[in-house]
Structure 1
Amino acid sequence: MMRFPSPLLALVLFVSFPSFVAAQALKLPDPLPGTAPLKLSEPLDEHMVAGIDRYALQALAQSPQLRPEKWNYDFNSHAAFIESIKENRARFKTIIGAVDSRVIGPGFELLSTTEKSSVIAECPAFKVHAVHWQVLDGITASGLLLQPTGEIKARVVALPDADWTPEMFVGLKAGVPKSAQIPLALAARGIQVVIPTLMSRDANFSGHPEVFYTNQPHREFIYRMAFEMGRHVIGYEVQKVMAAVDQFERLDKQDGRILPVGVVGVGEGGLLALFSGAADYRIQSTWVAGYFQQREGVWREPIYRNVWSQLTEFGDAEIAAMIAPRSCVIEACAVPVVDGPPAPKKGQRASAAPGVIEIAKPASVKAEFERALPVFEQLGLQQNLSLVFSGEGTGPAGSGKALADFLFGLRIRQNKKLIPPVELRRTANGIQVDPNARQEQQFNEMNAFTQELLNRSARYRDAEWQPGKYTSVALWEKDADRLRDKVYDELIGRLPAPEQPVPLNVKTRKVLQHDQYQGFEVMLDVTPEFVAGGILLIPNDLKPGERRPVIVCQHGLEGTPMDTIRADGHSYNAYKNFSEQLVKRGLIVYAPQNPYKGRDRFRTLQRKSNPMQRSLYSYIIPQHERTLEWLSSLPFVDRQRIGFYGLSYGGKTAVRVPPFVKQYVFSICSGDFNEWVRKNADSAHRYSYVFHGEYEIFEWNMGHVANYAELSYLMAPRPFMVERGHNDGVAPDEWVAAEYAKVRRFYTQMGIGDRTEIEYFNGPHTINGQGTFAFIFRNLNWKPSGD
């Protein structure tokens, strides 16, 4: 075998050999010179996704060791400690979406009529009222108030599991073990208790009558739209707890005394109790039943527990530590288990994300507890953090020890006199509360509040971006990198830089030999764990020493590079073999494999990445950077002329990769550009992803960071184009036109309006290849060869 002085020189010499100048005779060796043989036995996409999966799981596993970097505890005094975690607490409230101003309500409002009393049940020690209270502008909380008949010793918010109604939590309806009916034990001891209704795991209202209904739990349906707007079903419900504490303070002022405040929750209520105790310093005692554990496996849990960036700073231990120096009780116990979303009922479509809830393993609870304990110990308050196992950790919530420790935190001494079990009696003239109607009302309020955020979000973005002030390229370029970094860090998420440079380690194998071009499957390393790859198409009429431009042609959802090349088969309907068309016109073409293939196999990557403040594009951007690094090293590539063209999810890539990879000289978004925030958060439109199965599609706070117009601004002053079929079901023309008008205005007011365009064509979700091809040839300064 002939040996050359260097791999790249080998390729130069090979292409320059006179016997290979004729186009029809060109045959490049396999593998390409300068690369190792590619011997991958599994499909490239499976290998790629598996590698990213390993990377994401490693990051989750390592997160507890990295979190201390985000904390700067001051243990010199309790006041110093509280001050030292002030910014952590503020960030915590931000990432759970508890950021809106609460309404100053008139107190707990008793639900009664001229004929019916608010008292629905009673016993000698207390009465049970149906109540609601104000939370946010348009959001109320609704549930039960247990009002002691004697002196009130403390006030508590009690949070049931999401599968339990308030009535079940106090035994008025079946379904909750006696010992887990914690509000009764508290009210019997003279504690005023309020129980809010939580968003349930039912799916009765998850949809719209003019679109369709889904099997998404109510919590997931609200989560999806709220996540896009920087809000969360968790944040809304923590706000309900804090609004109850607001009313407690109001009562204290009215009574002329300050009573201790506590929060207790079981299961999903335990999550909310933990988060509320950490978020609101007015809560003196927190009791978390059946939730606390190591959280690095949160991606297996229901998606409505997915919190962007949480595990970079806040595991359960760190959240519990924010409760210090106050009291926190961790009870390991049984909770309602969840083996997945509800099965679709008649009239519902299956679109819910997978996710399970299991009873926490005692070892996991203990390990996380031991990470939180040192904070309390260094404050000299180890007695304020307690761990209680109900049975072996699988008994019902509400054990006597947990109750005693919680009361200790409320400064209530246990009465040595035995308190008899509570026997509630329903009142004859009590108002009848329909739990289903109450759930619908609470659901509709969260929905409407989030939709109003959506409607206002464009004004917020305009105020942040101020697009009208950029009247020249010079003015824009002063701010562009700052805005680019903000979007990268806040919306996409940035991988940490490697400690040492990673060799490209390029491997290739020939997969196509056509009379006009040759194709090589390529794989190269991005990190030691995961790769980039695709198919490189090289025209056969390359001349000695010639450097040609490259067009990167990106496939869509569940696609492969070959889908963009084939001139037959189902994929041709969408892609029209645009990669092959362009290589036949003399361009070098690279068709990358992006990792959005494999259904849940890739969708769970988003679940594993979001807690570490990462998204799918956190991996895709570095993949493209490394790919361009290699392409630029090839002797027949003009590194100054590399453009991007993507369809569908590839169009989604067109506004999320080239804006951050400046080597791309232009970007074309085909079959995807639209009012993307509305497409993700609108709960009454058939185009919205709120209704569909792509649960990975939602991006944290996109509504307040950057929509497609703002992402496209980041391309400027480089050229940008949109390709749009009138019959494309991605979105209506009106959404596309309105969003693109912002881009057109932005370019035009800087004097570069000729660098952006949109082509409409009378067709579906497909490559049209007319105006876009002309745009490619013009901006790559290429005169195409014949078909």
Structure 2
Amino acid sequence: MRCRRIELKCALRAGKVAFVSAIFGSFVMLGSVVGARFALAEPARETETVAGSLPGTAALTVEGDLASQMIDAIDQFLDRETARTVAHRNQVWKEQFKSGQWPEEWIASRKTRLAKILGVTDPRVASPRLSILAPPGQDPVLASGPTYDVFAVRWDVFSDVTGEGLLLVPRSNGLHAAVIAIPDADVSPEALAGLSPGVASESQFARRLAESGCTVLIPQLIPREIAKRRNVSLTHREYLYRPAYELGRHIIGYEVQKILAAVDYFSAQGDPAGKPTIAVIGWGEGGMLALYAAALDDRIATAAVSGFFGPREGTWSEPVDRNIFSLLKDFGCAEISLLVHPRPVIVEAARGPEVTIPKGLGGAPGNLFTPQLEAVQSEAARANELLSLARLPSHLTLITSGDGRGPYGSETFLKAFLQTLDPKSELNAVAQEPQWRRENPWQSDRVGRQIDELDRHIQTFLEQSSDVRRQFWSRLDTSSLAKFMETVEWYRKYFYEEVIGRIDLPLSAPNPRSRRVYDEQKWTGYEVVLDVFDGVFAYGILLVPKDIRPGERRPVVVCQHGLEGRPQDTIEGDHRAYHNFAARLAEQGFVVFAPQNPYIFGDRFRTLQRKANPLGKTLFSIIVPQHQQIVNWLSTLEFVDPARIAFYGLSYGGKTAMRVPPLVPQYCLSICSADFNDWVWKNASTRSQYSYVFTGEYEIFEFDLGETFNYAEMATLIAPRPFMVERGHFDGVAPDERVAYEYAKVRFLYEALLGLTDKTEIEWFVGPHTIHGVGTFKFLHRHLGF
């Protein structure tokens, strides 16, 4: 081969990785087998160009690592897409408000949308109980302040989930107001009440409100503490975020549900004329939850937000548990505050939580910083601008102190909050902090108990997810192939727009550039670059057999590498996962294209997913149009048969095999190698050793996939085109029974329902996470008629 590489002598270390993987199971797919090689920092290979370009293309002259340049280009594109999305969102909201009237129905639809993306979709218990936690025979009062008592409490949320925290109750008639005071995730209820260290006295806003006559409930949030969980170290919040996100729920949504369950309880107290005024106030994560809860529930009279309010365009860089799919398409803090209107929103520009989740532990890195004062002011101004278009007064009060980095829970902030509850109210002077009256045996394991409850609850939804998917797919008509083809289109559209995320931009002219990099006995290889969007390109290697006769049109096989791979891995070096399958197919006479997919360079590509998600997009939002441009261009080549372009991918390339052919109709068949399994289970299980919950692939989770599309449903979008699974018995992706379970549904669709008796098959072979290239090659020859 006329291609030189910088070789890394790591065979011994790579062999050790493969050995351990074979024994314990490679739950990270190619990340454990192929990816281990790149974890050793293999340099990008250098390529010696053989003179000449593919006829009909311009010369490819760019130097350097094209894969790295691709990642940079996509990153810059997503920054532009963020700005474009936000500008479009602003215009949509302005259109709704410019009539001078309050858009009641549209606002209601936005509340529904917010509830959906937060995962606030499950019914809570109808009549929640609030229980005081005290050992038998002991004083129920846990601690006392000068004018109030403190109780440890628990309240119902779902049948299997409770909220826990502290309840501060004035001893005399107060404001007849129930306030849910929400700390940041890393602040305990005891600290916010002044019972333990961690919060400065002037910021103990829960205690100050109780001293001023409010009944105050302080919920325990799931903290950001990092703990070792099997193979990775994750924050408690990310541990719950991962499986919940896959199932259309969210750690944020669950904590909002706990707040709303408390609202349910307080709303049921007293007769209709004497029900308490209910309000929420929070700092940091608590400020975020207060804003979201008030936006969703009109029973909350006031929301006070400190240390959170501001633009959300930087959410991708924050701890991953704040990742809300498609948030920026519809909402910034300004828009969410408008869902509270006309109820008051009090915003305090104050010091927020300063948090760093470091790289290299297996979880997603992230940072929290105090919002800049100018950013807070700008976001508040956006809300007021929209209200002015509807000729409505502002409901938002902005409290600032100096540069916006002062202590949170200031007197000005609390006074403004109390005034919304009762204009006659006053903020009492700072009193003595409360004193313990007895120990609280429930405190030490409260966080663990809350984590375990949510974990079990999420796993229950995982068990039920197949039934939910079955109901979701109930409109599919398989009574005939024609009916199937007609009714499946709704699901294809949903998959693209709601799961993958369609980029609503036209493809650029491909502007193909190429250079010859291989000159083999039976085929010639060209590096090819194609434009996709402004700045975004597709890159791969085209292998052209030398025995193509004039006028002959050959079938194409697109051969896709896995995680951290490169096109060259599928062509040369007899890599243990790929075994030169692209070159072998070219030697058999197929035209082959080996694309570079952008899942390479670790955190760099995972950041692309982080930036895409708030836009309602994913990494495959880029990969799908890249492949569409590839097949569009391949179809123009004089030696290619456009009706016979097949896809064959391994590992992350197998993920591609399940997501791209459903949306790129020119792919006439798809082969998924070393990836096909019960995908929802693999992503959401906290019981299985194979689960992605316990790996470093923090980008892998796809919002609400569990209730819409498992791999059998993705294969449904490929049907009636041929579809094949290649499965090694010792592949650590999943156990055989899970693969067989999911594939049985595919075979049932093809053969039993649609009568397609020769269009799908699975090949089992004795081997690991690798291309076998026996049954799949026969499948290609048969269905491509070659």
- TM score, norm. by length of structure 1: 0.91
In the TM superposition, what are the counterparts of 1:358-369 in structure 2 within 5 Å?
358-369=369-380
In the TM superposition, what are the counterparts of 1:105-184 in structure 2 within 5 Å?
105-153=127-175, 154-184=177-207
Q: Is 1:758 equivalent to 2:776 in the alignment?
A: no
Q: Take 2:161 and 2:567, find their aligned partners in 1: how far apart are those partners?
A: 48
Q: Take 2:547 and 2:776, find their aligned partners in 1: how far apart are those partners?
A: 23
Q: 2:54 maps to what in 1?
A: 32
Contact 2:97 2:390 in 1 (8 A): no
Q: 2:30 maps to what in 1?
A: none
**Which piece of structure 1 moves more, 518-527 or 368-377?**
368-377
CA offsets 1:465-509 (integer angstroms, 9 cap, x no match) = 2499514312211212111111111111100133xx621111101
Q: 1:372 maps to what in 2?
A: 383
Q: Is 1:202 equivalent to 2:263 in the alignment?
A: no
Please point out which of 120, 123, 138 is paired with 1:98. 120
Q: Take 1:777 and 1:425, find their aligned partners in 2: how far apart are those partners?
A: 79
**Which piece of structure 1 moves more, 608-617 or 272-281?**
272-281
Q: 2:484 maps to what in 1?
A: 476
Q: Aligned-pair RMSD on alpha carbons?
A: 1.9
Distance 1:600 1:213, change over 3 A: closer
- SS of equivalent residue, structure 1 residue 157: strand
Contact 1:467 1:746 in 2 (8 A): no
Deviation at 1:384, TM superposition (A): 2.7
Distance 1:77 1:152, change over 3 A: farther
Deviation at 1:366, TM superposition (A): 1.3
Please point out which of 661, 666, 669 is paired with 1:666. 669
Q: Take 2:139 and 2:353, find their aligned partners in 1: how far apart are those partners?
A: 33
Distance 1:425 1:497, change over 3 A: closer
Distance 1:717 1:390, change over 3 A: same
Q: 2:409 maps to what in 1?
A: 398
Please point out which of 222, 237, 242 is paired with 2:260. 242
Q: Is 1:340 equivalent to 2:343 in the alignment?
A: no
Q: 2:75 maps to what in 1?
A: 53
Contact 1:667 1:719 in 2 (8 A): yes
Q: Take 2:558 and 2:467, find their aligned partners in 1: how far apart are those partners?
A: 35
Q: Is 1:486 equivalent to 2:494 in the alignment?
A: yes
Q: 2:331 maps to what in 1?
A: 314
Q: Is 1:225 equivalent to 2:243 in the alignment?
A: yes
Deviation at 1:334, TM superposition (A): 1.2
Q: Take 2:223 and 2:662, find their aligned partners in 1: how far apart are those partners?
A: 40
Q: Is 1:515 equivalent to 2:526 in the alignment?
A: no
Q: 1:23 maps to what in 2?
A: none
Q: 1:421 maps to what in 2?
A: 430
Letter in 1 for 2:261: A
Contact 1:675 1:707 in 2 (8 A): yes
Deviation at 1:42, TM superposition (A): 2.2
Q: Take 2:54 and 2:340, find their aligned partners in 1: how far apart are those partners?
A: 60
Q: Is 1:743 equivalent to 2:731 in the alignment?
A: no
Q: Is 1:554 equivalent to 2:560 in the alignment?
A: yes
Letter in 1 for 2:509: P
Q: Take 1:130 and 1:643, find their aligned partners in 2: how far apart are those partners?
A: 63
Deviation at 1:45, TM superposition (A): 1.1
Q: Take 1:467 and 1:378, find their aligned partners in 2: how far apart are those partners?
A: 42
Letter in 1 for 2:367: V
Q: Take 1:65 and 1:159, find their aligned partners in 2: how far apart are those partners?
A: 32
Q: Is 1:593 equivalent to 2:596 in the alignment?
A: yes
Q: Take 1:312 and 1:647, find their aligned partners in 2: how far apart are those partners?
A: 33
Letter in 1 for 2:397: S
Contact 1:144 1:195 in 2 (8 A): yes
Q: 1:21 maps to what in 2?
A: none
In the TM superposition, what are the counterparts of 1:232-311 in structure 2 within 5 Å?
232-253=250-271, 256-311=273-328
Contact 1:118 1:131 in 2 (8 A): no
Q: 1:527 maps to what in 2?
A: 533
Q: Take 2:706 and 2:590, find their aligned partners in 1: how far apart are those partners?
A: 38
Deviation at 1:383, TM superposition (A): 5.4
- TM score, norm. by length of structure 2: 0.91
**Which piece of structure 1 moves more, 91-100 or 471-480?**
471-480
Q: Is 1:447 equivalent to 2:455 in the alignment?
A: yes
Deviation at 1:258, TM superposition (A): 2.7
Deviation at 1:665, TM superposition (A): 0.8
Deviation at 1:385, TM superposition (A): 0.8
Please point out which of 703, 707, 714 is paired with 1:704. 707
Q: Take 1:383 and 1:471, find their aligned partners in 2: how far apart are those partners?
A: 57
CA offsets 1:427-485 (integer angstroms, 9 cap, x no match) = 43x35145440000100111111111110000111122249951431221121211111
Distance 1:48 1:546, change over 3 A: same
Deviation at 1:82, TM superposition (A): 4.2
Contact 1:260 1:411 in 2 (8 A): no
Contact 1:111 1:431 in 2 (8 A): no
Q: Is 1:215 equivalent to 2:233 in the alignment?
A: yes
Deviation at 1:322, TM superposition (A): 1.2
What is the number of equivalent residue pairs in this alignment? 735
Q: Take 2:53 and 2:205, find their aligned partners in 1: how far apart are those partners?
A: 69
**Which consecutive residues of structure 1, in runs of 5 or more, have no partner in the other structure?**
1-26, 345-349, 783-787
Contact 2:540 2:596 in 1 (8 A): yes
Contact 2:750 2:759 in 1 (8 A): yes
CA offsets 1:726-775 (integer angstroms, 9 cap, x no match) = 00001110110000000000001211021000000000000000000000
- SS of equivalent residue, structure 2 residue 234: coil
Q: Is 1:329 equivalent to 2:346 in the alignment?
A: yes
Letter in 2 for 1:540: K
Letter in 2 for 1:130: A
- Percentage of identical aligned residues: 44
Please point out which of 209, 212, 217 is paired with 1:186. 209
**Which piece of structure 1 moves more, 357-366 or 583-592?**
357-366
Q: Take 1:685 and 1:400, find their aligned partners in 2: how far apart are those partners?
A: 50
Q: Is 1:689 equivalent to 2:692 in the alignment?
A: yes
Contact 1:135 1:240 in 2 (8 A): yes
Distance 1:147 1:634, change over 3 A: same
Q: 1:734 maps to what in 2?
A: 737
Deviation at 1:139, TM superposition (A): 1.0
**Which piece of structure 1 moves more, 118-127 or 189-198?**
118-127
Q: Take 1:52 and 1:275, find their aligned partners in 2: how far apart are those partners?
A: 31
